[in-house]
A and B are shown apart, each in its own frame.
Chain A
């Protein structure tokens, strides 16, 4: 019969394995893998050492300790989402500047090279 500890330990190892597999197959970018491996490690630790939850509960003053992993998990998800938005903003800035540069360079190309090839494949946006 599986106890909660064993389930959590298996889960942690499984997540770590999946992440490493994704990195090996180049589906997941390296720096993001570190984040997910930490998630896997935390799952493993909290599972194998259930006393940790109780200790964290006492230290943080949260009366119902088992809700602590859930709170921490939600906080980490929110942080991750925030990081996603920050990254997306950065990408948006880069895309805009590239678009501008492209238009300027196309013009220079036209000026230098005579008649340009008409751009009617229509798949830019």
Chain B
């Protein structure tokens, strides 16, 4: 046996830090996912805007609306999925992500149906993704946040260790890696699409990038998440429990990414 294996002295270079840079996402290979509940007034314009700006396929997920949301979206040229039971914004978004994976899209761009997210700002997300190689790019608009919200975000940031500034922006670009994680059963019980999703991404070591974009004031109505003080209190309590259960989510991501880079 000893004749088969000989020890050869080979100078081995110390492992270099290799940045893992996937090819940038092309808008044409992505699916725009627009969760919508009773947004018949604005969904048509949003769909038309996205198709005009990015030229990609658009999917509207009708979250058990009572009005003509699905019809208006289809008329504007979107593919429409109708959920028989209301699942909320995240449930509808996850449906879109599962659809995208099933049909082989390279990435998903999620935006709201109420006109708050401007289609003209979408290319900026793709540029940020190409520049940074991040798995997820969030379009942020800190000006729209009230004092109370900023305080709440600071509190949640400290609790989770997440380094992100705009925690509830629904304008996001997800790549294949993020889609794999967010389509899984592990992501199905997240009731709010912000903190839970971000922590899940952080736990898996996916780089998340933020880029500032312009946003419009909501066309109709006020925020559903913060409709009343009671709702806000419940949201903060619910999120706090989730955060306490995963206190080091944000910090874990930094360590994990470092470990992944040095391993290659």
**Residues in chain A within 8 A of chain B (CB atoms):** 89, 92-93, 95-97, 99-104, 106-107, 119, 124-125
Out of A99, A104, A106, A107, name the residue touching B87 (CB < 8 Å). Answer: A99
Given the known A-B contacts A96-B91, A125-B64, are A103 and B185 also in contact in the complex, defined by CB atoms under 8 Å? no
| Chain B residues within 8 Å of A97, by CB | 185, 188
Contact A102 B84 (CB under 8 A): yes
Q: Which residues of B contact A (CB under 8 A)?
A: 61, 64, 79-87, 91, 94-95, 98-99, 102, 185, 188-189
Chain A residues whose C-beta falls within 8 Å of the C-beta of B99 in the assembled complex? 104, 107
- Which of A93, A100, A107 has most B Cβ within 10 Å? A100
Q: List 12 A-B contacts (CB under 8 A).
A: A93-B188, A95-B85, A96-B188, A99-B83, A99-B87, A102-B84, A103-B82, A106-B81, A106-B82, A119-B84, A124-B85, A125-B85
For the complex with contacts A89-B189, A96-B188, 9 further pairs of A-B residues with Cβ separation under 8 Å are A96-B91, A99-B83, A99-B91, A100-B98, A103-B84, A104-B98, A107-B80, A124-B85, A125-B64
With beta carbons under 8 angstroms apart, the residue of A92, A93, A107, A125 that contacts B84 is: A125
Q: Select which of B61, B64, B82, B87 is within 8 A of A96 by beta carbon.
A: B87
Write out the residue numbers on chain A whose beta carbons fall within 8 Å of the beta carbon of B84: 99, 102-103, 119, 124-125
Chain A interface SS verdict (over half): helix
Chain B neighbourhood of A92, CB < 8 A? 189
Q: A107 to B79, alpha carbons, bound, how many Å?
A: 9
* Nearest chain B CB to A120 CB, angstrom units: 12
B98, A93: Cβ atoms closer than 8 Å: no
B58 → chain A closest CB, angstroms: 14
The residues of A that contact B98 with a CB separation of less than 8 Å are: 100-101, 104
In-complex Cβ contact of B85 among A89, A93, A99 (8 A) = A99
Q: How far does the alpha carbon of A50 sit from the alpha carbon of B87 in the complex, in Å?
A: 53
Rounded to whole Å, the gap between the CB of A98 and the closest CB of chain B is: 9
CA distance A85 to B40 in the complex (A): 37
A107 and B81 CA atoms in complex are apart in Å by 6
Check A104 against B102 for contact (C-beta < 8 Å): yes
A103 touches B95 (CB 8 A): yes
- The verdict on A125 contacting B86 (CB below 8 Å), with A92-B189, A100-B94 known, is yes
